[in-house]
Structure 1
């Protein structure tokens, strides 16, 4: 969920997105891949824009996976690179909200847009971009598996 989705959508749209977020966070906490592969999950963004329930679910997921070291999954919730720059420029946080986010290897973008839309601009400089013509709630394990298989055969040269 982008910062813009959290601030510019109607209250009805935000309520639907928030229900999806809450259910998604709960599902991730119990996910066999997250737990089996020991994937640490971090939620990054302006969580003041979501409900107490969403914040509790995000904290529970992060706490549940805090000791995991098999990889990392960063979820942008009410996040955009522009929002992060503005917060830093105002001196509200230092040095960076996304400072703990490692370089991102793969960005999976759902929806019809073929752009990053401010998604972790400092961490995606050498990321592979995978676009899907479906909306985030429609993302299935099979679609995710296709994206990961595609990523597995990419030749990465990191700018060389």
Structure 2
């Protein structure tokens, strides 16, 4: 069988202008259901999609790719599914951190991940520390993340600073809130992608997405790949971003 040629991704989306793209990775369960497979099979296929897209993001010149891996609302799912997802996360970190490090990728995890199992937290901290000195793109994993929780956390931090006299309440502005978010040291969000045909943000990066372009595709997440990412970036290139101006 002939080997399928690898697409030249940079030629698909030239000069796309995206520094930071985020993806709501939706459709693992439906992908598995269509194939009469258990949901965990869809999640495993979703992890493979993460690998493909993380590699493609680097080829396409993104500075940051943020992936919505596990929301603060996902705890409502059956305990067995949550356990499967955490197991896949452990395996992903163990198996992929060497490649991330070799390619200069910096791993970040945003969200209240410290509420997870201590052994997993230690693994995450170790992976982030190992890649922190790299100079390549950032892959940020949103884990136990909810945008409303993030904003409440930021407001509480700023309220405490005001109460301590570190800042006057009337002087608090957009930049102060930006600095109190999990994403404070990430580039501004340019593009939000959601797979599977759903058209909502699902409590993901609500503050950061204020002027982000939204891109929805019917493709289920396990089928998403570098070409699909390049097409989303090319669609961004054609948008007219006025930020409230003319």
Q: TM-score range by the shorter chain?
A: 0.7 to 0.9
Q: 1:29 aligns with which of 82, 89, 97?
A: 97
Map residues 133-152 of structure 1 onto 2, 5 A cutoff. 133-135=219-221, 138=222, 143-152=224-233
In the alignment, structure 2 segments of 5+ residues that lack a partner are 1-69, 162-179
For 2:193 and 2:95, the matched residues in 1 are separated by 19
For 1:36 and 1:90, the matched residues in 2 are separated by 39
Q: In the alignment, is the contact (CA less than 8 A) between 1:81 and 1:121 conserved in 2?
A: yes
| Change over 3 Å in CA distance of 1:100–1:159 after alignment to 2 | same
1:2 corresponds to: 71
Q: 1:13 aligns with which of 81, 94, 99?
A: 81
1:100 corresponds to: 185
> 87-96 vs 101-110, which deviates more?
87-96
Q: Say which one has the larger Rg.
A: 2
Q: Can you list the C-alpha shifts for 1:1-40, whole angstroms capped at 9, x where unaligned?
A: 11111x3223222211111211222233123xx3454221
Q: In the alignment, is the contact (CA less than 8 A) between 2:193 and 2:232 conserved in 1?
A: no
Report deviation, 1:85.
Answer: 1.5
> 95-104 vs 108-117, which deviates more?
108-117
Q: In the alignment, is the contact (CA less than 8 A) between 1:80 and 1:119 conserved in 2?
A: yes
1:123 corresponds to: 208
Q: TM-score under structure 1 normalisation?
A: 0.76
In the alignment, structure 1 segments of 5+ residues that lack a partner are none
- Count of equivalent residues: 152
Q: In the alignment, is the contact (CA less than 8 A) between 1:22 and 1:53 conserved in 2?
A: no
2:21 corresponds to: none
Higher relative contact order (CA 8 A, sep 6+): 2
Q: Can you list the C-alpha shifts for 1:23-78, whole angstroms capped at 9, x where unaligned?
A: 222233123xx345422121001113321232122112211211122221211000
Q: 1:87 aligns with which of 128, 153, 163?
A: 153
SS at match of 1:15: helix
Coordinate RMSD, CA, aligned: 2.8
Q: In the alignment, is the contact (CA less than 8 A) between 1:126 and 1:159 conserved in 2?
A: no
Is 1:72 paired with 2:138?
Answer: yes
> 44-53 vs 109-118, which deviates more?
109-118
